[in-house]
Amino acid sequence: MENNNKIESNRIADDLEPVSMYQIFARMFIHLAKEIVEEFGEKGEAAVKRGVWNFGVERGKDIARRAHVRGQKNDSDNYLISYDMDRSDEFESIDTYGDGYVEQYFTRCVFASEFQKAGMEKYGWLYCEMIDPAIAYGYNPNLECIHEKHFFTDNVCTFCFKMKDCKGSKS
């Protein structure tokens, strides 16, 4: 029997708006974090933070590997250019490079947006406070992450990634 009604299984209907992997990841994270914290309280919260930290360190080590493959040092100049995650239009930032540091000013972040839409900022903090310092540390233990402004409180997010011996950073 011949089947003439074949459908490509990896295509969504043209009349549906796709949901990005970033949105799906954020939604999954808050549901997992919420269940763990509700079940185990402070110990659960600490476990989620450790999990995010370990995930971030692993990513940072891979970003360092990516810099190395390109023949570059794992310093602040090569951090973002070797990053493992593309910036889709769901993120919007201005990156400013200085001597031994790079600053980022985010005006859009799909993760923060999803956490806020769900009213789950409490669990979003567990991710947002840990992930970037952990990635920076995994990339280079001498790369500090200063995270002064946050979407949940300031409607923008700012980062300064600076080498510990850097004196030129604004932060």
Q: Report the relative pairing of strands 91-98 and 101-109 from DSSP bridges.
A: antiparallel
Tokens of residue 130, six digits = 């840990």
Q: How confident is the model at residue 7 (pLDDT cuts 50, 70, 90)?
A: low
Convert the pLDDT of each residue in 45-73 to its tens digit. 999 999 999 999 999 999 999 999 999 99
Q: How confident is the model at residue 10 (pLDDT cuts 50, 70, 90)?
A: low
> Do residues 66 and 84 make contact, with C-beta atoms less than 8 angstroms apart?
yes
Please state the rounded mean pLDDT for residues 120-149.
Answer: 97
Convert the pLDDT of each residue in 143-170 to its tens digit. 999 999 999 999 999 999 999 877 655 5
Q: Which of 86, 76, 66, 85 is nearest to 159 (CA)?
A: 76
CATH topology of domain 21-163: Muramoyl-pentapeptide Carboxypeptidase; domain 2 (3.30.1380)
Sequence spans of domains, the chain: 21-163
Which H/E stretch holds residue 163? strand 157-163
Q: CA dihedral in degrees (169, 164, 60, 99; nearest 10)?
A: 40
Determine the Cα–Cα distance for residues 167 and 169; give it in Å rounded to an integer.
6
Furthest-apart CA atoms within the chain: distance in Å? 74
Judge whether residue 74 has pLDDT over 50.
yes
Q: Exposed, middle or buried by CB within 10 Å (0-12, 13-18, 19+), for 128?
A: buried
Q: If you average pLDDT over every residue of the chain, what do you get?
A: 91
The structure's pTM equals: 0.87
Q: CA dihedral in degrees (128, 130, 133, 135; nearest 10)?
A: -90
Q: How confident is the model at residue 18 (pLDDT cuts 50, 70, 90)?
A: confident
DSSP 8-state class, residue 146 = E
> What is the reported pLDDT for 165?
79
Determine the Cα–Cα distance for residues 171 and 168; give it in Å rounded to an integer.
9
Judge whether residue 171 has pLDDT over 50.
no
